[in-house]
């Protein structure tokens, strides 16, 4: 089952991270009219949970821009960090030269975490106003999110096995 309406293009992005191994995985799954039409996944060494979530979202946006540009699409993520970053913070950071600017004059501006990923995401999302970034509850039986979660774990495990998407 998909959140909202199953019609149209819906892409689910998810990342995972295993602290003991230091490795993570990312995945996206694309559905058109509730039918899976594409997916991708991979593993990342020396990562963190937030970065794998962003890598998944970035790859989802790249896929949309390569395969469905000009078509309204929703990218679903269960990461509040990714959603708020895409919909709010990204625009502020970009206007501030990709720095966090704090109101206290005696505190210097700070670079943002995952700045290279945020810049890459911005490059994909900015020219495509038909893409909406939305939140879905993770591990709640939503088909696309569950499938992306499974593929992200497969991506994480591929680091050891050498499997490719």
Predicted pLDDT of residue 1 = 44
pTM above 0.85, yes or no: yes
Predicted pLDDT of residue 7 = 86
Predicted pLDDT of residue 165 = 54
Residue 29 φ then ψ, to 5°: -135, 125
Contact 23, 44 (CB under 8 A): yes
Tell me, rounded to whole angstroms, the distance of Cα 128 from its chain centroid. 16
pLDDT digit string, tens, across residues 24-49: 999 999 999 999 999 999 999 988 99
Domains of the chain: 9-161 (3.30.420.10)
- In sequence order, what are the residues at sequence separation of 6 or more whose Cβ sits closer than 8 angstroms to the Cβ of residue 129? none
How far is the C-alpha of 152 from the C-alpha of 101, rounded, in Å? 33
């Amino acid at each position: 089952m998909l959140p909202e309406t199953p019609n149209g293009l819906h892409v689910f992005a998810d990342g995972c991270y295993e602290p003991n191994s230091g490795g993570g995985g990312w995945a996206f799954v694309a559905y058109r009219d509730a039918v899976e039409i594409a997916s991708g996944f991979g593993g990342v060494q020396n990562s963190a949970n937030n970065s794998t979530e962003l890598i998944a979202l970035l790859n989802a946006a790249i896929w949309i821009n390569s395969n469905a540009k000009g078509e309204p699409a929703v990218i679903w993520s269960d990461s509040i960090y990714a959603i708020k970053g895409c919909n709010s913070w990204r625009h502020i950071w970009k206007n501030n030269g990709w720095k966090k600017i704090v109101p206290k004059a005696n505190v210097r501006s700070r670079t943002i975490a995952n700045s290279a990923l945020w810049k890459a995401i911005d490059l994909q999302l900015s020219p495509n106003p038909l893409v909406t970034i939305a939140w879905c509850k993770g591990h709640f039986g939503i088909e696309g999110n569950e499938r992306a979660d499974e593929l992200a774990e497969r991506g994480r495990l591929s680091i050891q096995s050498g499997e490719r998407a």
